[in-house]
Amino acid sequence: MRLILLRHAKAVAAEPGMADRDRGLSPRGRNDAAKIGSYMARHALLPEHALVSSARRTRDTWESARGAFPRPCPADYLDKLYDARPEDILNAVREVEGTSHSLLVIGHNPGLHEVARLLIASGDVEVREQLNEGLPTGGLAVIDFTGNKWDQLRGRGGRLERFISPQLIKNETD
């Protein structure tokens, strides 16, 4: 199984009276989300299903990223992923039924970064250290697991396959 964690891209600053949930992406954020989506498509990091926080910036990140995908991917927009604690995120993943072996979660820090650190037991040490420093806006962590049911997901059961951010992609052509 493969769990792909994506922190929303750079959002606009809140305007007076604006709810945090209503903040959309900045122009840089839209560009970064599209860049991450293209990267995912080029590297066959395509989810079969997506869980997306109901906040506008996560929905905008999903819309910008999925435009690069060669095939449709169903998504569920979940209120419980907004400002979620790691256990809330894990519970949302564990509730996924069916045969999706590749699942994308688009959410927020600090919960998303904490769940990545909680799940990873192995992988390239240098890359793991980079992830330990933080999950930036538009940051993508790809974690592989043995097993075939999301409800059996446990802490320290995954291998970090990849960690990338829009800033690390640069002008990649492969």
- Which pLDDT tens digits describe the chain residue by residue (174 residues)? 999 999 999 999 999 999 999 999 999 999 999 999 999 999 999 999 999 999 999 999 999 999 999 999 999 999 999 999 999 999 999 999 888 999 999 999 999 999 999 999 999 999 999 999 999 999 999 999 998 899 999 999 999 999 999 999 875 544
Between helices 125-133 and 111-119, what is the axis angle to 10°? 160
What's the start-to-end Cα distance of the chain, in Å?
25
Q: Where in the chain are the domains?
A: 2-8+22-107+118-145+165-169
Q: What is the Cα 75 distance to its own chain's centre?
A: 13
The sign of the torsion formed by the CA atoms of 41, 42, 44, 45 equals: negative
Tokens describing residue 14:
């809140």
Q: What pLDDT does residue 173 have?
A: 46
> Which tokens go with 144?
């592989």
Distances (CA, A) of 79 to 12, 59, 147, 154, 170: 20, 11, 28, 23, 33
Count other C-beta atoms under 10 Å from residue 69's C-beta. 16
Strand ranges inside 38-126, DSSP E: 49-53, 75-78, 102-107, 120-123
pLDDT of residue 98: 82
- Is-contact 120 18, C-beta < 8 A? no
Spell out where the chain has E strands.
2-7, 49-53, 75-78, 102-107, 120-123, 140-145, 158-164
Query: Which CATH code is given to the segment(s) 2-8+22-107+118-145+165-169?
Result: 3.40.50.1240
